[in-house]
Amino acid sequence: MTDWIRVCATGELLPGEMRQVWDGATPIVVVNLDGEYYALEDRCSHEDVELSTGSLDPAEGSIECMLHGARFDLRDGRALCAPAYTPVPTFPVKVADGAVWTRDDR
């Protein structure tokens, strides 16, 4: 179990925005979805592409891979459409000391 990784101050991650951080060798994309924070491994399950280079759909609550258009649910990481079928791992997020924190808890 690793320590929590500081993402940024809460004021630096507004609704509809995302940030990438690394926990060791794990890239993590942290998203503010209408005031709720979600963290996913920043790696498409179709090919090794960073999801943070894609786009958010706040209405659906999803992130779309920029390479082939697969979408993943921000809340549970499940693949919503082809060409991805495997979910993306999700990670815990907490708010403490005015900042957003996450970690690879696997």
Q: Which residues pair with 7 in a beta bridge?
A: none
Helices (H), 6-101: none
Q: Which stretch binds ligand FES (CB under 6 A): 21-29, 45-53, 73-81, 93-101?
A: 45-53
- Say if residues 92 and 39 touch (Cβ distance below 8 Å): yes
What is the smallest separation between the CB atom of 98 and ligand FES, expressed in angstroms? 34
Residue type, 40: L
Q: What are phi and psi of 8, to 5 degrees?
A: 180, 175
29 binds ligand FES (CB under 6 A): no
Torsion of CA 94, 11, 59, 45, to 10 degrees: -50
- For position 60 contacting ligand FES by CB under 6 A, the verdict is no
87 binds ligand FES (CB under 6 A): no
Of the candidate spans 5-13, 29-37, 67-75, 93-101, the one that interacts with ligand FES by CB under 6 A turns out to be 67-75
Nearer to ligand FES, 71 or 103 (CB): 71
